[in-house]
Amino acid sequence: MNKLKAILTLAMALVVVGCGQDKEPELVSGVHLDALDRATRPQDDFYQFTNGGWLDSTEIPEIYSGYTVYHEVNERVEEALRGIIESAAQSESDPGSEAQKVGDLYNSFMDLEAINAKGIEPIRAELEAIEAIDSIDSLTVAMASLLRAGVPVPYRIQIYPALEDSSQYTVYVNQSGITMPNRDYYLQTDNENFAAARDGLAPYISNILLRGGMDKYEAEQAAKNVVALETAIATVQWDSVRNRDPQQINNPYAVSALSELGGNLNWSASLAVLGVAGEEQVIVEQPSYFEALNGLLNDVSLNTWKQYLAFRVLDRFAPYLDETTATIRFDYRNRIVYGQKEEKPRWKRAISLVDSLIGEAVGKLYVAEYFPPEAKAKMQELVRNVTDTLDESIDELEWMGGETRVKSKNKLAKFTAKIGYPDEWTDYSDLEILSGDNIGNIRRAVAWEFQKNLAKLGTLVDDKEWFMTPQTVNAYYSPSKNEIVFPAARLQPPFFQLNADDAINYGAVGGVIGHEISHGFDDSGSQFDGDGNLVNWWTDDDRTAFEEKTKVLVAQYEEFSPVEGMHVNGELTLGENIGDLSGVAMAYRAYIRSLNGEDAPVIDGFTGPQRFFIGYAMSRKGKYTDETLISLIASDPHSPLEFRVNGPYRNIDAFHEAFETQPGDGMWLAPEERVRIW
């Protein structure tokens, strides 16, 4: 057993209870005592109290633009994946086997000498195809071809279950095509970080177009043209709040009627290139955007559009090209926009590439080696307990009437929980990965994935499909499938500790279980029924009562100001804030229920309820560069981390009881001002 393997085996041994032991080890509190800030009262700032010691002693590594508990866990996962992938990379594997594909994909990216020698030549064909564009029709066909190849253009297509019939797949067409993180970067002039990103955009475009073969004068003029075009695109895009509303984006169009949005997009030819010409209907998420885009195709010169597409190709492939080109992209996209000081080591980037292109091939090996069955069994128990408490609490909601109550419980009864890894693994047998062909491997993998999605059309929705790999440190709720999904990598310390007292697990992972369940009942998810269909199952009075409560929550969060001059967007973050508030509340009830009327022990000086709230707060610790925090405030539907703790806790009676808060405390919120939704 090598040193890495020994470390990882020891880490997992800390998770497993009683494996190969004569007696069970003594339970521990699970509280990270050295992370606490004892100088801060929990009644004044609970996030700081729980995590302040860690925040004060932890610097953001220069290879990241932020560092959180998720980064800590993901680094352990990366080391495990490195062992798995490098083992495949160093082995003689059967041609066409998954081990061969994993190894050759990794080795091809790691061969920097060969990549540097080729420069940008591997994407010369795409650049020459753009140069050959000579009309709007050929421009739109080129856009469709590039989109199919994974290059961002002003729109995307996606294949997902239909909003109103979750048993069938349909095609979604939506807005895209800008470089900066959010339309606000182009349009808001009073934010210094936005201004810095804007100021750096044109030089970045110019420098990368120089790598593509333009001369200096032409590249500088092209950069001005592209910035102007992207600004025009951003101006007509829908904002993030509007895009969150499933009713607003549910705009079915017969394919024959797409010309109503304008003929310049050459819909018939574009859809044919994209492989969806046989569909009778598509969902156009932002119709007004496509009407405006139709005008831009006519009003902006063909030469500018060609410059824009050339930039898009170079920007897309730069991380996988020679070191000079990759560095130009990093210096803008990571250093200027997000404040990241150094590029990640090449092996980390290689692992990310393998993970993104053939992730389940690696995931299969990861769970076999690092995900004990005891963890899955315990997680299933936690999910059942948290779900049961929501079922009971629905009966107690004073604001909800009987008809909606019955339908709420019916939706909850149809929830599905997926834990650890899929029952059926993706078959990569017809994907060709070749040794030494880095860009070719990426092209073929993207094309393979695109074709895999196209093959869904005309078939029933696959309930066994996962949208995350097992090695992903995250979780999600799917409204169309009415399911919560917890990948294996998410179920490890500090999120999940099998040798810890239950309080910490009900807080740290039970709160996340509740959070994901709550997404089925937040402002967006509540518009889908138990079968995953977008349909109104609420009475008008109950929907009004629900929205009155959410308005209060919006107002609360809009008072929070993480950085000077910026406030949390309560509308944008509403769904996640409901998830945090309701998730913690239902997980706490599940914890109390698990005690069966007994008092929890006091461990490390904390009562069971206190450890519960510490556990959840531990799972949200982290810090970001100013640039990244500002980007997150502008575009992320999650509130900043401190408010994902202090925000919900102020509204939970049990928190105030556990820590005996009083008027005047920083965490105090008068009982009549507290929001309880689920």
Phi, psi at 487, each rounded to 5°: -60, 155
Mean of pLDDT values over 465-478: 96
**What pLDDT band is residue 379 in, cutting at 50, 70 and 90?**
confident
Distance (Å, whole) CA 405 – CA 7: 50
Pull the structure tokens for residue 417.
Answer: 């929980």
Q: Which two tokens stand for residue 243?
A: 């895009």
Whether the pLDDT of residue 1 is over 80: the answer is no
- Taking alpha carbons only, the member of 306, 334, 369, 363 closest to residue 126 is 306
Whether the bond between 319 and the residue before it is cis, its omega within 30 degrees of 0, is: no
For position 12, what pLDDT does the model report?
34
Tell me which residue of 587, 534, 580, 499 sits closest to 162, measured CA to CA. Answer: 534
For residue 333, CA distances in Å to 240, 327, 330, 479, 638 come to 21, 10, 5, 32, 22
Strands (E), 125-232: 155-161, 169-175
Q: What is residue 331's DSSP assignment?
A: I
Please report, to the nearest 10 degrees, the dihedral formed by the alpha carbons of residues 491, 492, 494, 500 taken in order: 100
pLDDT of residue 498: 76
How far does Cα 333 stand from its chain's mean position?
18
Give the SS3 label for residue 170. strand
Please tell me the predicted confidence (pLDDT) of residue 625. 97
Pairing of strands 483-487, 622-624: unpaired
Residue 288 has pLDDT above 90, yes or no: yes
User: Which residues does residue 432 pair with via DSSP β-bridges, in sequence order?
Assistant: none
Q: Which CATH number is 121-320 given? A: 1.10.1380.10
Separation between Cα atoms, residue 198 and residue 66, nearest integer Å: 21
Terminal-to-terminal C-alpha distance of the chain: 49
What would the pLDDT profile of 503-523 be if each residue is shown by its tens digit?
999 999 999 999 999 999 999
- Model confidence at 492, pLDDT cuts 50, 70, 90, reads confident
- Specify whether the CB–CB gap between 93 and 107 falls below 8 A: no
- Three-state secondary-structure class, residue 602: coil
**467 pLDDT higher than 90:** yes
Position 450 pLDDT exceeds 80: yes
Token readout for 228 is 């102007």
* Amino acid symbol at 201: L
**CA atoms in the 13 A half-sphere facing the CB of 222:** 25
pLDDT of residue 378: 84
pLDDT of residue 595: 94
Q: Are strands 66-68 and 622-624 parallel, antiparallel or unpaired?
A: antiparallel
Q: Which two tokens stand for residue 299?
A: 């009003």
Residue with tokens 């959180």: 68
pLDDT of 368 > 80? The answer is yes
CA 234 to chain centre: 22
Is residue 276's pLDDT more than 60? Answer: yes
- How far is it, in rounded angstroms, from Cα 179 to Cα 404? 44
Q: Which residue is listed with tokens 């066909």? A: 141
CA distances from 154 to 179, 230, 232, 253 (A): 11, 9, 11, 19
pLDDT digits 0-9 by tens, 559-603: 999 998 899 999 999 999 999 999 999 999 999 999 999 999 999
Q: Per-residue pLDDT tens for 604-631? A: 999 999 999 999 999 999 999 999 999 9
User: Span 136-163, mean pLDDT?
Assistant: 97
Identify whether the C-beta of residue 488 lies closer than 8 Å to the C-beta of residue 371. yes
pLDDT at 496: 85
Distance CA 468, CA 287 (A): 30
For the cut 70, the answer to whether the pLDDT of residue 57 exceeds it is: yes
For CA atoms 540, 542, 543, 548, the dihedral sign is: positive
Q: Which two tokens stand for residue 345?
A: 């080591």
pLDDT in tens, 7-16: 333 333 333 3
What residue spans define the domains of the chain?
A: 12-60+371-422+466-673, 121-320
Q: Is the pLDDT of residue 3 over 50?
A: no
- Cα torsion 35, 37, 38, 44 to 10°: value is -130
- In whole angstroms, give the CA distance from residue 338 to residue 629: 8
Confidence of residue 170 (pLDDT cuts 50, 70, 90): very high
Is the pLDDT at 119 greater than 50, yes or no? yes
Tens digit of pLDDT for each residue in 58-110?
Answer: 999 999 999 999 999 999 999 999 999 999 999 999 999 999 999 999 999 99
Give the closest residue to 226 by CA, choosing from 204, 249, 248: 204
Provide the pairing of β-strand 281-284 with 169-175.
parallel
Coil, helix or strand at residue 149: coil
H-run or E-run covering 584: helix 574-594
Residue range 482-493: average pLDDT? 92
Edge-first strand listing for the sheet containing 476-478:
416-420, 483-487, 476-478
What's the angle, vertex CA 517, arms to CA 513 and CA 521, rounded to 5?
Answer: 150
How many angstroms separate the most distant Cα atoms in the chain?
78
Q: Mean pLDDT, to the nearest integer, of 349-375? A: 94
Give residue-wise pLDDT tens across range 173-208.
999 999 999 999 999 998 999 999 999 999 999 999
Strand partners, 417: 484
Cβ 285 vs Cβ 173: under 8 Å? yes
DSSP 538: S
Predicted local confidence at residue 499, as pLDDT: 81
Query: How many Cβ atoms from other residues are within 10 Å of residue 119's Cβ?
Result: 15
Contact 383, 484 (CB under 8 A): yes
Range list of β-strands (E), 5-109:
66-68
Residue 25 pLDDT class (50, 70, 90 cuts): low
Please state, for a pLDDT cut of 90, what percent of the chain lies above it: 89
What percent of the residues of the chain are helix, what percent strand, and what percent coil, each to the nearest 5?
55, 5, 35
CA separation for the pair 69, 618 (Å, rounded): 8
Neighbours of 26 (CB within 10 A): 6
Q: Which CATH architecture has domain 12-60+371-422+466-673?
A: 3-Layer(aba) Sandwich (3.40)
In 3-state terms, what secondary structure has residue 321?
Answer: coil
